[in-house]
Amino acid sequence: MDLFDYMRNNMMEKESPLASRLRPETLDDIVGQKHILGKDKLLYRAIKADKLSSIILYGPPGTGKTTIARVIAKTTQAVFTQMNATVAGKKDMEQVVADAKDRRGMYGQKTILFVDEIHRFNKSQQDYLLPFVEDGTVILIGATTENPYFEVNSALISRSVIFRLEPLEKKDIEELLRRAVYDVEKGMGAYHADITDEALEFLADMSNGDARMALNAVELGILTTEPSDDGNIHITLDVAAECIQKRVTLYDKNGDNHYDTISAFIKSMRGSDPDAAVYYLARMLYSGEDVAFVARRIMICAAEDVGNADPQALVVAVSAAQAAERLGMPEARIPLAQAAIYVASAPKSNAAYNAINSALSWVEHHKTEPIPPYLQDASYKGAKNFGHGIGYQYAHNFENHWVKQQYLPDGVADQVFYHGGDLGYEAIMKQWLKDLKKEG
């Protein structure tokens, strides 16, 4: 490193965002993530002993993935190389691997490669790394906000240990904010600022476990707030609210939170909890989820989980989908909420869902049986020459508009695919069918 590099690095360190400047230097300085960084935990012991194998750090933004990687860089005897998958290409990886081979061959020195946002690498890029991770040429540290089981090659996952980072707890965020405000060396202490307990609690709560978001907010507050008469900058609740105008929601429309939230939404409707259903609906709409996607899930739930226990549920769900499409947000929230509440509150039956799945399974695993001739189409000329329609009994000509008649093919005649439920309207249907069979 020459003089210019040294000066540039010093300047970048001083002018970098607060969240970057506050990153800890040692493992013991890291706040939160005790489930993987407690002193008795595998990752802590591996880093301390400098015996790290390839790992993937997976978790929401602002939970410490890059922080852990930087601490590893400062504690390991291996050469630490970093790249971001959004800008790195195959040539960059080839250079890292070539240098790693040289170090290993000439000096016996290990190379740790930290790949931030590893899910951004395409399959071929991930495949390129695989043999060098497998033979130990590089020790891989991947960081991702996406579920690695979906976004990272299974072969690469099998050669790595996955550590999931959780959103930081409120007390952890509050500790970081205190450091940010009062630390003179790395924080904003030189600005002579203070923060009220109410503002501290508000920012910690609103950040939803994202430390970077909370630190950015307090930095903005200190830099944009005029000193009071006492010469100090006071971060009050009002100042804090201005600096973080909208609650951070852990929701990525293409990632884990998307699938987890819609899963909770559906299960809440299925479980007959309208309050939970509306809560998860609100989380999705607040985060900008596509209303058409939400409406489709409500329609599916109405058919799959309510079914004929209340046939009106599907009618309400379809109407809500059409209304939401025509209205758009924010008004679309109202019919969607109406439909979600209706479906959640309705009696439940998955009999129709089970019936079609059972029938599909039968069709898949058995030969196709011929349709009884009397049920076949007799409308075309010459159909009766083939026996089509002959012997068919028209149900409306009989009492109760029903007559005993075999409708299933002979090879399927003994199968029962539909088992009606005992709730709501379906119980009436079930009894009706039972009575008809008695008459027959």
pLDDT at site 309: 96
What sign does the CA torsion over 301, 305, 307, 308 have?
negative
Task: Flag whether pLDDT at 146 surpasses 90.
Answer: no
pLDDT at site 11: 47
Residues 158 and 183 in one domain: no
Examine residue 96 and state whether it is found in any structural domain, yes or no.
Answer: yes
- The CATH number covering residue 149 comes to 3.40.50.300
Residues 64 and 156 in one domain: yes
Task: Flag whether pLDDT at 156 surpasses 80.
Answer: yes
Task: Flag whether pLDDT at 419 surpasses 90.
Answer: yes
Report pLDDT digits (tens) over 177-212. 999 999 888 888 889 999 999 999 888 888 888 888
Query: CB pairs under 8 A, 24+ apart, for 299-303?
Result: 300/266, 301/266, 301/269, 301/270, 301/343, 302/339, 302/343, 302/346, 303/352, 303/353
Return the higher-pLDDT residue of 14 and 70: 70
DSSP-derived secondary structure letter, 374: G
Domain with 195 in it: 170-243
Report pLDDT digits (tens) over 77-125. 889 999 999 888 888 999 999 999 999 888 888 999 999 999 999 888 8
Number of separate domains in the chain:
4
Q: 260, exposed or middle or buried, with CB in 10 Å at 0-12, 13-18, 19+? A: middle
Average pLDDT for the chain? 88
pLDDT at site 4: 46
Residues 37 and 160 in one domain: yes
Residues 139 and 74 in one domain: yes
Half-sphere exposure of 180 (CA within 13 A, CB side): 30
Residue 41 · residue 161 · CB < 8 Å? no
- The CATH number covering residue 188 comes to 1.10.8.60
Q: Indicate the SS3 state at residue 113.
A: strand
Residues 121 and 37 in one domain: yes
Q: How confident is the model at residue 254 (pLDDT cuts 50, 70, 90)?
A: low
Residues 208 and 146 in one domain: no
Averaged pLDDT, 379-398: 82
Examine residue 27 and state whether it is found in any structural domain, yes or no.
Answer: no
Residue among 439, 425, 403 nearest 352 (CA): 425
